[in-house]
Each structure stands twice: as C-alpha cells, then as structure tokens.
Amino acid sequence: MDNTAVSIRGVSKRFKRHQVFDNFSLDLPGGCVVGVLGENGIGKTTILRMIAGLSAPDAGQIFIQDKAVSRHTRDLVSLMLEPEQIGPYMKVSDAIAYNGDFYVDFSRDIAAQLCADFGIDTGARMDEMSAGMKERACLMLCLARRAKVYLLDEPMAGFDPKFKREIVKAILAYVEPWQTLIISTHLLRDLDAIFDEVVIITRNAATSAKADDIRDKGISIEDYYMEVVG
Amino acid sequence: MNTLTKTIKWEIWYYWMHLRYWLAGVVLAGAISQILPVPAYTDIPFAFAPVVVVNIAFSIVSGYFIFVFPVAGMLVDISSGYERFDRLVNRPFGMLLGVRMLLSVVVILLGMGIATAGETLMMRFATENTSFMTFNTNGLTTVISSGFLLPVAALFGYMLVFAKRAYLGTALTAWAGAVIAGIGVCALMLINGHIPEGGVLIAVVFAAALAWCIRTYNTKFES
C-alpha cells in the first residue's frame, strides 16, 4: 500500500529572477513526523505554501493523498498561520468559532484543551496579545483540526525553551498515527527527537532519510544535515 | 448552515467590526449637534462651530461608507488574493468576493442614509440662523461633488495600512498628490471666499491622517 501523504511531481516555481524549483519531485511519507530542512531561501516555505494551495506552481503538480492540490484539498490540510494573517480585530474565541464553522474537522474540545495547555486567554484580541501568545494561538488553531496533513513553518521560532517543550508534548499528544506532520525548521535541536523522517532540500534536489537510521549511526540530525549541505 | 450562509454570517460580522466605530462617531456627532445650542456666528471661530464639525463628521463617515470602504476593500481583496485566513477556507474565491460586493452595496446605501441624515441635521442650523443658509446643506451632494478628495485620500490611506508592502510606494505617492490637491482646493476656496475655515479643517484632517499612516507604516513594517 502506498504510504505517500504528499507527492510533488515535476514542480517548477520562479519568483521574478529567482528560479526556486525546476522540475522538482519529492514524496513525503504519511503517518509520521517529517522534518523539512534546508538553507535559507532554498524553498521550504514555498513548498509548504504550494501544498496548502496558497501558491500555485508554474509547472508540475502536487498531490495530497492522490488528490491534486485545489481549493478542495484545503479540507485535508491544516496550515499553521502567521499571526498577521488573522484579523487583529478578532478575539481568540472568534477565531475558534470561525474555524469551527468552516472546518468540519475542527474540534472545539481540543481547542479548549490546547488553550488551557498553552495559557491562551480566549477573550483576548489578537492585536492585544504578545508576539509569543499570537504564535501560540496560531499553533492552537492548527492543531485543533483533525486534518490528514499538518503544515508547520518554523513553529519554534519566537518561543521560550519551556514552551518549546510544551509544543513537543502537544504534538505527541494530539497528532495521531494516521496523521502526517510536516515541519519546516532551522531549530533542529528543539525538534529532532520527534522526527520520523528527515528531508533535506538542496538546490533543486532533496535527500530523504529515516531519522532512526541517522540516530543508529550515532550522529545527530544536525550533524547529518551538515554532512548533506556541506 | 451551508458555506454561503456561513460566509454571509461572518462577512456581516467582519463589516460590523470595521464600521462600528464610524457609526459610533456619526451617532456622537449627531447627538452633540442636538444638545449644543447653535452658537452665534460671531461668537466663536467658525471652524469650531458645531455646524462645521457636524458637517465634516457626516461627510467623512458617509464618504468613507460610499467611496472608501467598498472600493478599497475590493482592491485589497483582489490584490492580496489568498493571503488571509478567511481565504483558506474551501470555497470559491468568487463567493467571498460576491458576498462582499453585495454587502458593499448595503454599506453604500447606509452611507447615503447618513449623508441625508446629516443634511436633515444641518437644516436645524439653517432654520435657527439664516446666515448658515449659505453653507451647503445638501449633505449627499457635498460628499459626492466637493467632498470627493477626502474619500480619495482615505482610500489610499486604507491601502497604505492594509495593503501589501509592494503598494506602499504607490499609496504614499497618491497620498502626497491628494494632500497637494486638497491644499490647492483650500487655496481656491480662500481666493473665492467660500468657507475657508472649513477648507482649513479638511487640510488639518488630511495632515493628521497622513501622520497616522506614516506612524502605522513605521510600527507595522519596520519593527
């Protein structure tokens, strides 16, 4: 049985003069935590945005569980938003109600539990919250969905060490084996313990490895990353 | 509820969140105009007279409702595409745009109602002191004809605050143009002897709005 959650097929993407991908292909396995790593500007965020349907490839196609990315695949994917993408006039409770209305897989119970775990005041407006609290709210909204695929772009940036541990705990508690978590990050030491699969993107190519195989070699994922990117 | 009904529900909520302070402002201005006595024309500077304040308040709000909010909202929707969370929902973009266009018509009608209400309030000043008859009491005409500069300026202010950074240069240039045009209109008013103080007040509003936009720009993008 094919266990591919996301399949990228011959994708090309250019931003003005910068060709990010040219006929790029990659398969991301399902039912696990996948770390997408790479240097700045290599296209990690672009990949996540294309999977979410926020950005269209110039050529090629992306499939989520055999369905070509379209507005319909948004029901399969839960993207961690950036705080500025949520209206500043919205209270956290408004954002929860909004998501609850539009996403059938959104769990208000999990949202309430995550708010309690993360110390989020549901009555607070987005523009009244600290930067860290806004990020927590975004993460809460993302994880409260029971989506097939989660997309987290640098989820650890801006959090204190204590809360980073809370995030890892939440991921382990709320993400189930049938779900796929794709995390793009530079902060390897914070997350390497939960990676099942590591994908390192270099210029228009990708190297994949099982995290356990890397660990069995007695090296850290950061060391492996350094080996690959040179 | 189906997706369309939910979209209408949340768009009405979204519009209310954006417009409620404007509505509060016009209600406050209307209430003040009813409570305060009409001052004698020579007692206080004309620019501070309730008749001017009320007229400007109603002109700004109705102008914003008729010109700025619908047009600028549409421009931001079209230019920023699927950037915001409300566009990540599985629904055709046309549905969101269509609902917003229909609600914009409601907002425009509301703006026209506010302009007409302002006109009615102005008539009180006109009947209590005939010298105010020279002041343009047709609120809707004022907004649509001579008051177009303010909404235009506010439009670019709106773009400056809410649009993407790529539009900042355009918005700033347009703002500068609108301010220069506003000063020009004020100068013409002064030369022709038409409500110069009102013109000066409009220029002050221009300058304050510009300062506010620059401040917002600095805090929003440079921090």
Place B96 in a pLDDT band, splitting at 50, 70 and 90: confident
State the pLDDT at residue A12: 92
- B47 contacts B135 by C-beta, under 8 angstroms: no
Judged by average pLDDT, the poorest of A163-177, B18-32, B50-64, B146-160 is B146-160
| Surface-to-core class of residue A70, CB atoms within 10 Å of its CB (0-12 exposed, 13-18 middle, 19+ buried) | exposed
> How much is the pLDDT for B134?
44
pLDDT given for residue B198 in this prediction? 53
Question: Most B CBs within 10 Å: which of A64, A67, A69, A85, as the mutation test of the B interface?
Answer: A85
Higher pLDDT, A7 or B194: A7
Question: What element of type H or E holds A199?
Answer: strand A197-202
A86 touches chain B (CB under 8 A): yes
For A112-126, B24-38, B114-128, B190-204, which range has the lowest pLDDT when averaged over its residues?
A: B190-204
Q: Which of A112-116, B86-90, B218-222 has the lowest mean pLDDT?
A: B218-222
User: Using 50, 70 and 90 to split pLDDT, how confident is the model at B221?
Assistant: very low
**Which of A73, A76, A86, A89 to substitute to test the interface with B, most B CBs within 10 Å?**
A89
Contact A79 B83 (CB under 8 A): no
Nearest CA in chain A to B221: A84
B34 has a pLDDT exceeding 60: yes
- Other beta carbons less than 10 A from residue A157's beta carbon: 11
For residue A58, give both structure tokens.
């110039």
Express as a percent the part of chain B with pLDDT over 90: 4
Mean pLDDT of A71-75: 89
Q: Closest by alpha carbon to B85, among A176, A58, A98, A137?
A: A98
Q: ipTM of the assembly?
A: 0.83
| pLDDT attached to residue B46 | 54
Task: Find chain B residues with C-beta within 8 A of A98's C-beta.
Answer: 10, 85-86
Q: Model pTM greater than 0.80?
A: no
Q: Does residue B103 register a pLDDT over 70? A: yes
Mean pLDDT across chain A = 89
Residue A62 pLDDT grade (very low, low, confident, very high; cuts 50, 70, 90) = very high
Q: Per-residue pLDDT for B38 more than 60?
A: no
Q: How far is A54 from chain B (nearest CA, A)?
A: 6
> What pLDDT shows up at residue B125?
64
Q: Inter-axis angle of helices A161-174 and A108-118, to 10 degrees?
A: 160
Residue A119 buriedness (CB in 10 A; 0-12 / 13-18 / 19+): exposed
What is the mean pLDDT of the segment spanning A29-55? Answer: 90
- Which residues, numbered 75 to 134 in chain B, qualify as contacts with chain A under a Cβ-Cβ cut-off of 8 Å? 82-86, 88-92
- Whether residue A194 contacts residue A33, with contact meaning beta carbons closer than 8 Å, is answered with yes
pLDDT of residue A126: 87
Per-residue pLDDT band for B133 (boundaries 50, 70, 90) equals very low
Residue B82 banded pLDDT, cuts 50, 70, 90:
very low
- CB-side neighbour CA atoms (13 Å) of B124: 19
Task: Return the bridge partners of A180, or none.
Answer: A149
Q: Are A34 and A60 in contact (CB under 8 A)?
A: no
Highest mean pLDDT among A154-158, B53-57, B196-200 belongs to A154-158
Higher model confidence: residue A6 or residue B42? A6
pLDDT for residue B88: 80
Gap between the Cα atoms of B20 and A230, Å rounded: 57
Contact B14 A72 (CB under 8 A): no
